[in-house]
Structure 1
Amino acid sequence: MTDHLRNWYEIREQVRWHDIRHGRGWPRGPVRARRDGIAHRITTVECAREPRRAQRLLAAYEQVRADAAAGRTLDFGLVAGWQRTVLGMSCMPFRDGPAFAKGGRERYGLDADTPARFDACLAGSRDSALPVASRAARAYLDVCFFHPFPDGNARSALLTLAFVLAAADIVLDQVGPLAQLQRPADDPEGARGLADLVVTLIEGAQRRSGNANGPIRVHNR
């Protein structure tokens, strides 16, 4: 049976993460949208679906923002802390067996070193040689394909992306397109396309915030 996590290990190294629109030096400078797109989605779309779940997700997002402001390091322990809040659980270990997604079409295996490899991948979110949009997109996909938790991995992936952007002083004003697409583990162009989508969302937030003249300045941490 195909191990799609192993596919992701290989694809991850093939993706041209530097080759996104505007080049490797973009974006730079704070992007402070007029509204917080994640908070807005939670309090509208998510709340309409399930208010109590949305309340937990909003609390986890507040943790994400606080952790980014405090300069915390992105690793499994940090993500698991958010996920405890998302799921309302007191303990959140790494999964203890294979995981499945997309109606069972993708299977993510588990080896003795899988948790350590997850941490090593998340550590790449601090690589300032890459555009922050690429780092955020890659971390999002790392969570999707390592699938560390028994439930709520899509929410965890979105929170992880938000953390990487927030650490660079970027707040998106909309995130709906991120939540509407499923991305396969073996598609390098799709992975790079996600980074381009993050660029588009940053551009939109910049434009709608009234700061559309000239390049923005985002601190790459």
Structure 2
Amino acid sequence: MYPHWMIADLEFPAGGLTVQLAEARAMLPDGLLEESGWADELAQCMESEYRHLTMDALQMIGVHAEAEGRDSELPAEYWLRIAQAAHQMDFPAFVPYCLGKARRLPRQDPADVMAAYATMPRVIDVDDALRKPCAVAAETIRRDDPAAEEWLETPDLTALARHLRDGAFDRMGRELSESFSGVFDDLFAAVCDPDFPADRSGHGWAVIGANPFRVVFSDGLLPVSEAEVWWRARD
């Protein structure tokens, strides 16, 4: 289950896993695929029937399209089929980002997610384990520039993100990011809760949209594939 704002009015395409992945691949414009740098890996994964890595490659091509401002070249169905594949393979962490992209929600960046992080207790009830680091993040922003108090209290997510993007994040991004890393899992779970309020979907999408997931392999005699948020997966 996901919040209503995330799934409302979406029509999920039918079909098994092989169909979902093949249909998504068929929707990729050749130029975008080649430019993304994922063409060879995608072909190899599909040929070897590595379905989880095929899903991963398809999403990362979409992430590339987003970064290049070419989202419009991928239909909503592309993202819905990746979401369906992720669901069928039990990779639920992939689903929210794909649903947001299917809804044509805007690109998010570190300023958006840090603004949401600092103000999350203003929009939903959170436990102390999450409330305290969020409060520390808010105080960090307030201490850097008292003028941010107005946006923290309202909260005005757009104005606060703009403030961070206009230089404040350059000054304190490392401090905010280190704190955020420790509570990301709790934040992600909170915004994906079915009861997350629709009128606060901006906060939800800020956490989700700035953080697509990747497939990684755990160490051991029998490596297991699992989902990891992109900035941890690349370390």
Task: Check whether TM > 0.5.
Answer: no
- Report the structure number with the largest CA radius of gyration: 2
Does 1 or 2 have the higher relative contact order (CA < 8 Å, sep 6+)? 1
Task: Provide TM-score, normalisation by structure 2.
Answer: 0.30
TM-score by length of 1: 0.32
* Higher share in helix: 2
